């Protein structure tokens, strides 16, 4: 497939191809209004949650530059549906801007109006939110190529008994559907793997990344790389994103190459599922964990939850991404994340890999969960991950720059 570019600006382009991403996308708000309303990540009407940390870009000048830029878009052909399993999106303008960018990049979103749903703090009632996935399981809606989470926060756990995960997983495998998200979406991803045997993608989401005034270009590029590369590789040079006081590989013996199914996600969410039927039982697996804003003692408590529930049994290794914003312990600052992880190593005896570039941080490196992962130590201090056996999208169907223009 050859990319078809239009030298129109984004608004003209979307009118020409007839994208109707909700009445608000083109009719009720101009791009100027959307950008002006979105010049700060800390709008008073939007409370920050774990999936929605400030990017540091708050100037109106940046918004004006974005508006003035002429955008080369491609015709959106990738069948895409959203699922809103957790928090309500706090800003219509931000969602509309994100939908605009998705279309420009080649993603044809079939259900944009779900971004306007709200019930209490959630993106709709439990039934509405569960239907985003259950309607695919029943065949009421055709499985898309991409199922993209709108945002995290809280609420996905309420939906777990309401979806036929076994059928959903089977249909997704047949279609090659990629479910993408992180943070609270971890509950969906773990359950999809545990009960449906289907992989997913740890990746940025609609509201929390693509709706920013100035999306992180590294995160956008790595999102597309993970969507399109069937042999994705990631090199980790050190453990600094987890803790600067750790080696990249903590092992009681000489590190060696291991291969297994990688699974997990947000530590708070995985620990909340401990002991339930929604935790994957993966023999020889590799457990990945990340979190944000949790002090060292809370991280340790959650890791003990997993340890005492037997989650680390029969696993080959544990991998940590970013554990950002953990702060200092008020009793003794020597008790830090590194101390906690060394204690976990002592408890489990498993090799622990730290510093994976994913979590509630900028410059995320998206990667598949529920896929095969080979971990190889480098000749220096770091390690390399190589992934296989997961669905992908043809690279020429995506115009990556559209995700931040």
**Token digits of residue 72:** 């080369």
CA triplet 308, 184, 324: central angle to 5 degrees? Answer: 75
User: Tokens 């944000």 sit at which residue?
Assistant: 292
Catalytic residue among 131, 248, 354, 360: 360
* Dihedrals phi, psi of 372, to nearest 5 degrees: -75, 140
The string of DSSP codes covering 211-261 is TSSS--HHHHHHHHHHHH-TT-EEEE--STTT-TTS-SEE-SS----EEEE
C-beta of residue 261 within 8 angstroms of C-beta of residue 371: yes
C-beta of residue 25 within 8 angstroms of C-beta of residue 99: yes
**Token digits of residue 15:** 């009118």
Distance between CA 250 and CA 265 in Å, rounded? 20
Secondary structure class of 140 (helix, strand, coil): coil
Strand 5-6 vs strand 258-266: parallel, antiparallel, or unpaired?
unpaired
- Active-site residue 290, yes or no? yes
Catalytic residue among 290, 294, 324, 354: 290
C-beta of residue 226 within 8 angstroms of C-beta of residue 232: yes
Catalytic residue among 85, 91, 131, 183: 183
C-beta of residue 96 within 8 angstroms of C-beta of residue 24: yes
How many other CB atoms sit within 10 Å of the CB of residue 223? Answer: 27
- Active-site residue 360, yes or no? yes
C-beta of residue 156 within 8 angstroms of C-beta of residue 189: no
Q: What DSSP designation does 242 have?
A: T
Nearest to 107 by CA among 347, 405, 402: 402
Catalytic residues: 183, 290, 360
């Amino acid at each position: 497939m050859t990319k078809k570019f239009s030298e129109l600006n984004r608004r003209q382009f979307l009118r020409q191809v007839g994208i109707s991403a909700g009445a608000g996308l083109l009719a009720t708000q101009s791009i100027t209004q959307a950008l002006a309303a979105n010049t700060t990540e800390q709008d008073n009407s939007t409370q920050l949650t774990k999936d929605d940390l400030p990017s540091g870009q708050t100037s109106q000048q940046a918004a004006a530059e974005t508006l003035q830029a002429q955008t080369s878009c491609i015709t959106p052909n990738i069948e895409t549906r959203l699922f809103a399993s957790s928090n309500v999106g706090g800003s219509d303008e931000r969602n509309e801007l994100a939908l605009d960018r998705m279309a420009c990049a080649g993603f044809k979103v079939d259900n944009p109006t779900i971004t306007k749903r709200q019930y209490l703090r959630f993106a709709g009632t439990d039934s509405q939110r569960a239907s985003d996935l259950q309607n695919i399981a029943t065949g009421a809606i055709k499985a898309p190529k991409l199922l993209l989470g709108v945002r995290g926060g809280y609420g996905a756990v309420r939906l777990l008994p309401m979806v036929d995960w076994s059928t959903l997983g089977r249909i997704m495998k047949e279609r090659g559907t990629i479910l993408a998200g992180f943070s609270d979406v971890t509950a969906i991803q773990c359950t999809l793997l545990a009960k449906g045997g289907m992989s997913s993608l740890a990746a940025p989401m609609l509201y929390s990344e693509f709706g920013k005034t100035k999306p992180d270009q590294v995160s956008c590029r790595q999102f597309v790389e993970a969507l399109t590369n069937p042999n994705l590789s990631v090199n980790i040079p050190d453990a600094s994103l987890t803790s600067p006081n750790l080696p990249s590989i903590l092992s009681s013996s000489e590190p060696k190459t291991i291969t297994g199914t990688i699974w997990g996600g947000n530590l708070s969410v995985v620990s909340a599922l401990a002991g339930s039927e929604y935790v994957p039982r993966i023999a020889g697996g590799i457990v990945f964990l990340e979190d944000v804003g949790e002090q060292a003692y809370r991280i340790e408590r959650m890791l003990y939850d997993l340890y005492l529930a037997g989650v680390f049994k029969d696993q080959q290794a544990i991998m940590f991404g970013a554990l950002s914003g953990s702060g200092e312990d008020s009793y003794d600052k020597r008790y830090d994340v590194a101390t906690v992880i060394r204690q976990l190593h002592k408890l489990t005896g498993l090799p622990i890999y730290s510093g994976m570039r994913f979590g509630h941080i900028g410059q995320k490196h998206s990667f598949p969960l529920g896929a095969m992962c080979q971990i190889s130590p480098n000749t220096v201090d770091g390690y390399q991950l190589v992934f296989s056996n997961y669905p992908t999208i043809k690279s020429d169907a995506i115009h990556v720059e559209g995700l931040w223009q």
